Amino acid sequence: MSLRVLSVVSECVPLVKTGGLADVAGALPGALAGHGVEMRTLIPGYPAVLAHIGKRARKVADLGALFGGKAVIRQGKLGDTVLYVLDAPHLFDREGSIYLGQDGNDWPDNPERFAALSMAAARIGEQGVGKWVPQVLHLHDWQAGLTPFYLKRRGAAERVKTLLTIHNIAFQGLAPAKMLNRLELPSEYFDHEGLEFYGKISALKAGLVWTDKISTVSPTYAVELMTPEFGMGLDGVLRERRADLVGILNGIDTDVWTPPFKTPRGKVRARKALRKKMGLPDAKGPLCVVISRLTEQKGLDLLLDALPTLLDCGGQLALLGSGDAELERAFHAAAGEHENVAVRIGYDEALARDLIAGGDTILVPSRFEPCGLTQLYGLRFGTLPLVSLTGGLADTVIPASPAAMQSGVATGFQFHPVTRQALEQSLTQMCETFRDPKTWGKMQQNAMAQAVGWDISAARYADLFQELVSSA
């Protein structure tokens, strides 16, 4: 008999996506099916989600009044995955980003919107949907963080177990303390051992305190989270729960992310096409690509500072991304000044695939990176990652150290500390290695042979779910 797990998530490909969380939510149910886990997904009823399941989607639960309006749960499908949709038009039927209003700021009712998602999850945990009753609720980030508390208040926490996965601890779901009653959170739990975080309510902290187990998206990030540098004020909570914290690497859907060539030689045509599309001249040096949010977290300011070193080494840069306005302007200016720099502001899935297929190196100079997916895409396509030594980047890239090069196992380049000087040194090493086709080709073969799919990690999740159920 399969384990029954409900994934509670705020975004999921291909329905709605703002980051890697959506990729994980879309891929994990299928990956777990081969490991004896039946995972169903609960997601808010955004316009795109309701359009996918259709107007005639069956109502399977009536939640009554929920934060200012009626709410029901409807059932649909996403591929082979059963989809439960929280249909609450007053909370989710709106245009724009799922988290941000037209002004670029958080929707002011985000606390209620995702408290509603958590309440719906607790309701399903307690009562099930029809004859299907989950044994585990797999909760993703702060948007599902209040679920364990609501489950406890319903008296169902002993029967159904919870796993909270931290995808990025920088986002914590904060709300003013005056919203306690509004969110149905008793004031006696508002203290440093419960809901309170520097005078505010923290949905993520609530999840960390009351969930049964905690996971995050790489082993190194799990260790980093317990330090003041990376824990974002929650490191103490995580140290207290050290025994319940595990790091499990994300994977990628290797059926979706399949290179259009079987060996690195096939990259020649893809590189030529990419240069033409981006308006870059032919060059003998490496074509480096970036697909990223343009933020300081992603280290893109360091890349700007180090760009002259890359260009002096004969390299090129093709960048796709958006974010900080100053960084957008600075990269645009660099493209205007240098013929070997091309920039596209925004996000384009087709262009992202072209960049990964045609690039020689994918640059991920993040100051912190819970797991990262673009370096995994790079490995899959023989586009050697150049990454900082942090989080999942440290766990997925074998750097071109003397020992790794002598053993012939290197798959990319790493730099540490996360400074301009260290990045420049790594860029120089990468360019020098590129000038040795035999060595470069071997590294590409290593990269393309590396396991980056979900099989290993899905098995670890399945074991964790089984451990939780056995403890019930």
Alpha carbon distance 269, 277 (integer Å):
12
The H or E element spanning position 239 is helix 235-240
Residue type, 107: W
Distances (CA, A) of 170 to 38, 59, 88, 143: 30, 35, 27, 13
In three-state form (DSSP H/G/I as H, E/B as E, the rest C), the secondary structure along 256-299 is CCCCCCCCHHHHHHHHHHHHHHHCCCCCCCCEEEEEEEECCCCC
- Contact (Cβ atoms closer than 8 angstroms) between residue 453 and residue 23: no
Contacts of 336 (CB under 8 A, 6+ apart): none
Alpha carbon distance 388, 367 (integer Å):
7
- Edge-to-edge, what's the strand order for the sheet holding 136-140? 58-65, 70-78, 81-87, 37-44, 3-8, 136-140, 161-166, 213-216, 245-247
Q: Is the dihedral of CA 261, 262, 265, 267 positive or negative?
A: positive
- Is 17 within any annotated ligand binding site? yes
Alpha carbon distance 61, 39 (integer Å):
19
Residue where the block lists tokens 């399945």: 462
Alpha carbon distance 218, 246 (integer Å):
8
Distances (CA, A) of 407 to 197, 403, 442: 48, 6, 11
Q: What is the DSSP string of 190-220?
A: -STTTTEETTEEEHHHHHHHH-SEEEES-HH
Closest CA to 292 of 256, 345, 334: 345
Annotated binding site for ADP-alpha-D-glucose: 17
Known binding-site positions: 17
